A and B are shown apart, each in its own frame.
Chain A
Amino acid sequence: MTFENNFINHSKEYIFLDNDILSNQRKKIFKKIIQKNYDKKNNESLKNITISDLSKFNYFYKPIQEKSQVSLIDDFNYEIKVVNGICKNYEDDNIEIRNLTSLDFKSFLNQDNSNVDDIIIDFNKIFLNSGFFFNIKSNTKLHIRLIHDTSDNFTIFQNNFINFKKKSEVQLEDHFNLTNNSINNINYNISIEEYAVIKHNIFQNFANSNKLYLTSNTVCEKNSSYNQNTYNFSDGFVRNFHHAYLNGEFSNASLYGCFFLKNKNVCSNKTNIIHNAENCVSDQTYKGILNDYSKANYYSNTFVSENAQKTEGYQLSKGILLTDNCSFFSKPELKIFADDVKCSHGSTIGPVDESALYYLRSRGISKNEAMKMIISSFIEEDLQNLDKDIAEKISNNLSDYLNCLVK
C-alpha cells in the first residue's frame, strides 16, 4: 500500500483526531514526507534507512484490550502486558496505568524539540494509534516488567508517557515479544522527578520480519538518576534513539547499549545528552559485535549549555567486526558552551584482537572457544551492573548468538 493510501484510508484510527492543532501538524508532516523534504546527507534519522522503504508498508491496527494485563507478582513487583499498544487501566497506591486519552494531548504537544527532523518521530506523529501513561508515585520502590506483545502484521505507532514521581526508586524492564511482519514505532517520554532513581533495562530479541523504532526522551530533575541499558539481539531492524535532558543540578544519566548483529541485520543507534544544569554527570557507551554482512551506526552527542558548569560527560563506542563485509559507523559529537567541564569521547572498532586469540589458543583452547571467550569478555563488565535475572537472560542470548556465528 502506498504511503498516501495508508494515511488517508486509516485516518479515523489515529488518536487525538478531534484536535485541530494536531490535524494541521499531521497534514504538514504528510506533505514533508511526500516531498521527501529532509536533509538526506546529514539527517541522522535517515542513516541506514530510506524514505521510500519507510513509506512502503501496510497500515494495520485494531485495538484489542482484552489480552492486556497488569499482574502483581508481589506488592512491589509488577508485570504489565501491553498488547498491540494497549494496556489495561489500573491504579493502586504505587502506580497509575492507563491508555492515552484526549486529556493527554497537551503533554503530547509539549514534547521536547530535539526530535525535529527525525523522520521516525514524524511517522509516529501522523500515524499515532496508541499510547499509555504510567504514573509511578512518590517514595515507591518498584520493579516493573513491561512486555510489549505485537501480533502478526500490526503497525504500532505509540507514544508513551512515564512519570517517576519524587524519590521513587524503580527498575523498569522493557521486553519486546514481536511475532511476524510487525512495525513498532514507539516513542517514550520519561520524566524523572527530584531524587528519583531509575534503572531502565531494554531487551530486544525478535524475528527478522519485524521492525522496532524505539525513541526515548528522558528529563531528569534535581538529584535524580537515570540508567538505561539496551541489549539488542534481534534479527529484525532496530533503531534505538535515546535522548536525556539533565535539567536539575546533581542529576545523572547513563545510556548504555550493546548490539549483536549477524546476516544482513541493520541497527541504527543514537544517544544524546543535554546538560542544562550544574554538577551533572553523563555517560554514553555503546558496544557492538557484527558478523556477516551486518551494518550499524552510532551517533553520540553531548551538549553542555552555558550554565551547566562542573559537568562531567563521557562517550565511548566499541565494536568488534567479525568479517570484512560488516561495517560500524560511529560518530561522537560534543558541543560545549561552559568552561568548567570534564568531557571525553573515544571509539575503537576493529576485528577480534589477534594477539588475545593467539594467547588463548596457545593454551589449548580451540579457535571457536577462544572467540567466544573474547566476545563474551566484551560485555562481561556491563553484565556485572545488572540484576542477576536480566544478566542471566543476556548471557543465554549471547551464548545463542555465539553458537550461531562460530560454526
Chain B
Amino acid sequence: MIFLNINNLNVSIEGKKILNDFNITINEGEVHALMGPNGSGKSTLANVLAGNEDYEVNSGKVIFKDVDLLDLNIEERAQKGLFLAFQYPVEIPGVNITPFLHASINSKLKNEKKPEIDNLSFTKLLRKNAEELGISSDMLKRSINTGFSGGEKKRYEILQMSILNPEFAVFDETDSGLDVDALRIVTEGINKFKNPKNSFLIITHYQKLLEYIHPDYVHVMRNGKIVKSGDISLATEIEASGYQNF
C-alpha cells in the first residue's frame, strides 16, 4: 500500500502558480520536515493536502492509503486520517470545544464503520489527554481558540490530534509565535503521539523545532518544488547560511 505519494502536483491561486511539479513520498512511521524561504509554497502544500478550496489544483496526484486525496472533500480527507495543525488556528466564538471534538471523532468513527463514542467515555478521554498536555478542564468549557494565547492554541491543536488519532499529520509552522516553553510542550506532545503507524510532515523555518522532533528526512523547498533532500544536517546548514545555496 502506498502511504503518501505526491506526484507532479501543480497548484495555483488566482492564476499564480505556487506548486510546480511537486513530488514527495512519505512512508508509514516516517517524520519529514519541509523547510524553505517565504513564498516557496510550504503552506500552500499543507492547505492543498487538507482540501482548502481556495487553491486550484491544475494537475498531479496525491495518493494517500491508495486513494487520490484530490477526489475527496475537506471532511472526507480528515475522516480518512489526515490532520492539519494550523499555523493560525481560527477562533470560533460560541462553538464549544468539547461538543465540537466529540462530533469530530464520531464523524471519523462513523466513516470507519466503528461504533460512536458516548458522552461519558469521550469526556474521560478528553480530560485524560488534556491533562497530559497541561490543559486545564476549565479551558475545555471554552469556545474554539477564543481568547487563547498563541501557545494555548497550538496546545489545543495537539489535543485535537491526540483525540482524532490521525495516521498522517501536517504541522504548518506550528512553532511560529511560540516561546521556548510552549515549543517544548508542543513538541513533547508530538513526540508522545509518534508511533510506527503514523507519519508527519513538519513545516518549519527553524532548526530548533527539529532538534526536539528529530525528523527522518529534511527537504528544502523553493519555487514550488523540493530542491534538496537530506537528513537533519540539512537543517543545520540552513540555520548557518540560509537558503542562498539552494
Contact = CB atoms under 8 A, between A and B. Distances in A.
A358 B47 CA distance: 10
Interface of B: 50-53, 73-75, 77-79, 83-84, 86, 89-90, 92-95, 100-101, 103-105, 107-108, 111, 143-144, 160, 164
Interface residues of A, number: 23
Given A363-B160, A364-B79, A369 B103 contact: yes
A318 to B, nearest CB: 11
Contact of A358 (B52, B108, B144, B160): B52
A364 B100 contact: no
A385 interface: no
Interface in A370-389: 370, 373-374, 376-381
A105 interface: no
Interface string A38-56: 0000000000000000000
A164 B177 CA distance: 55
A365 B107 contact: yes
B51 A362 contact: yes
Q: Is the interface of A mostly helix, strand, loop or mixed?
A: helix
A360 interface: yes
A110 interface: no
Nearest to A367: B75
Contact of B95 (A360, A361, A366): A360
B52 to A, nearest CB: 6
A55 B108 CA distance: 57
Contact of B86 (A359, A378, A379): A359
B78 A359 contact: no
9 contacts: A353-B92, A358-B52, A359-B90, A362-B77, A362-B84, A364-B79, A369-B103, A376-B95, A378-B94
Nearest to A377: B94
B51 A359 contact: no
Nearest to B161: A363
A246 B51 CA distance: 53
A380 B86 contact: no
B95 A363 contact: no
B186 to A, nearest CB: 18
